[in-house]
Amino acid sequence: MRILAIETSCDETSAAVVEKTGETVKLISQSTATSLALHSKTGGIIPEVAAREQSKFIIPVIQEVLEKANLDSKNPNIDAIAVTYGPGLIGSLLVGVETAKTLSFIWNKPLIPVNHLFGHIYANFIENNAIEFPLIALVVSGGHTDLVLMKSHSNITWLGGTRDDAAGECFDKSGRLLGFPYPAGPMIEEKAKLGNPKAYHFPRPLLHDDAYDFSFSGLKTAVLREVEKTTLNEQAINDICRGLQDAISDVLVSKTLQAAKEYNVKSILLSGGVAANQTLRESFEEKLADSTIKLFVPPKSLCTDNAAMIGAAAMFQGEKTDWQHVTANPELYFD
Ligand code: KG4
Ligand code: ZN
């Protein structure tokens, strides 16, 4: 099966051609355009700016991936078009969804609507068929922090999620307090490498709570309090970054392992932009060193938003439908 996948839920405009043979999903071509440079100046994404940029990028990225995959852009040899239909920013989602619907109509190909959150999880299945069920998936992105139990591709239970800010949002908002451009996660990771782990001990919200919920807004407030009373020289900034990253990482690792133990899983899947954090990956690896549970993390390029993951999710979970039945849904969640 060969799919053209489209992802435009936030500030990226991404298209990919993916193929599945047996259980193996292969990425044939991918192109991702971003309007990040415009948002880094404003400290966050301005939805209308993102959508306007995406309407410029969408056709060129599709053209590029078809060309790279040696497919005819007038009548490509594909089985379906997969598109993110939510959650996300409405203007951004509409660019991808309406383009996919138009192509579905003119090429006479079925559409597969994909939940962006499952897309992140399925980034792990690209060129990897070693994953075993049952599994726990941790989705950690700018907008989401969720723990999901999957006994199979179709037996899925949402265990918990953030009550307020997502982990990535906590990195971004704390970074803003430190004067970093958006998104701050990668810069906090760099600075944290030079930070003293003992200088700041930030709270670990809900760490000892039995439920699988998260809460990161208090952590951001704790950072604010320290920023207000500290002279922000280079070392103090590095130390705050280290304290913040350790606090977020402790909570994510501990809750995920708690769920993995309770449900006796064989695999843990990390996904979403925050999973690009090397220190977080290493803390999972360290904690799982003597365990039979296998840890999977996509390559960094497939952690942040991309179309390949949408194609992969469509391969395992997708249902083909007509273009008339697909509508963007910004509020979509795990159901
Ligand atoms: O998955 P993603 O690209 O977009 C959403 O669906 O939200 O995630 C973006 C988030 C941002 O909050 C960004 O700061 C965070 O992922 N992020 C990181 C790192 N790289 C990206 N957070 C911590 N460490 C990183 N290396
Ligand atoms: Zn995302």
Query: In whole angstroms, what is the distance from residue 103 CA to residue 97 CA?
Result: 10
Sign of CA dihedral 69, 73, 79, 83: positive
CA dist., res. 197 & res. 203, Å (int): 14
Question: In this structure, what are the phi and psi dihedrals at residue 330, rounded to the nearest 5 degrees?
Answer: -60, -25
Q: Which helix (H) or strand (E) holds 40?
A: helix 36-42
Distance 303 CA to ligand 1 centre (A): 8
Q: Is the pLDDT of residue 42 over 80?
A: no
Distance 304 CA to ligand 1 centre (A): 6
- Mutate which of 300, 304, 332, 333 for ligand 1 pocket (most atoms within 8 A of beta carbon): 304
- The pair of structure tokens assigned to 141 is 């992105």
Run of H or E residues at 96: helix 90-107
C-alpha to C-alpha distance for 19 and 2, rounded to whole angstroms: 4
Q: In 3D, which of 253, 203, 206, 195 has the Cα closest to residue 224?
A: 203
**Residue 64 burial (10 A CB sphere; 0-12, 13-18, 19+):** middle
57, amino acid identity? F
Determine the distance separating the centroid of ligand 1 and the alpha carbon of 102, expressed in angstroms: 31
Closest CA to 171 of 283, 252, 115: 252
- Minimum-distance ligand 1 atom for the alpha carbon of 116: 6
**pLDDT tops 90 at residue 76:** yes
| Contact (Cβ atoms closer than 8 angstroms) between residue 82 and residue 112 | yes
In angstroms, rounded to a whole number, what is the distance separating the alpha carbons of residues 36 and 159? Answer: 32
The rounded distance, in Å, linking the Cα atoms of 59 and 319 is 24
At 209, is the pLDDT very low, low, confident or very high (cuts 50, 70, 90)?
A: confident
Structure tokens at 305: 């938003």
User: What share of the chain in percent tops pLDDT 70?
Assistant: 100
Question: What are the tens digits of pLDDT across the range 233-268?
Answer: 999 999 999 999 999 999 999 999 999 999 999 999
The rounded distance, in Å, linking the Cα atoms of 328 and 335 is 16
What mean pLDDT is predicted for residues 52-63? 97
CB atoms within 5 A of ion ligand 2 belong to: 141, 305
In this structure, what are the phi and psi dihedrals at residue 259, rounded to the nearest 5 degrees?
A: -65, -40
Whose CA is closest to 196, among 248, 234, 222? Answer: 234
Amino acid type, 308: A
Nearest residue CA, atom 16 of ligand 1? 273
Give the H/E segment covering residue 27: strand 24-34
- Give the closest ligand to the alpha carbon of residue 40: 1
The alpha carbon of residue 158 and the mean position of all alpha carbons in its chain are separated, in whole angstroms, by 16
Percent of the chain's residues with pLDDT above 90: 92
Q: Of the ligands numbered here, which is closest to the C-alpha atom of 166?
A: 1
Most ligand 1 atoms within 8 A of CB, residue of 114, 274, 301, 310 to mutate = 274
pTM: 0.95
How many CA atoms, within 13 angstroms, populate the side-chain half-sphere of residue 232?
14
Model confidence band, residue 70 (pLDDT cutoffs 50, 70, 90) = very high
Q: Which residues line ligand 1 (CB under 6 A)?
A: 10, 141-143, 168, 171-172, 183-186, 189, 272-274, 276-277, 304-305
Query: What kind and span of H or E run contains 135?
Result: strand 135-140
Per-residue pLDDT of 269-326, as tens digits, reads: 999 999 999 999 999 999 999 999 999 999 999 999 999 999 999 999 999 999 999 9
Ligand 1: atom nearest CA of 12 is 3
Q: What is the mean pLDDT of the chain?
A: 95
Do 139 and 214 contact (CB within 8 A), yes or no?
Answer: no
Which residue lies with its CA nearest to atom 14 of ligand 1? 185
Hey, which residues does 168 pair with through a beta bridge?
none
Nearest CA to ligand 1 atom 7: 142
Please report which ligand is nearest the Cα atom of 11.
Answer: 1
* E strand or H helix at 239: helix 234-262
Confidence of residue 223 (pLDDT cuts 50, 70, 90): very high
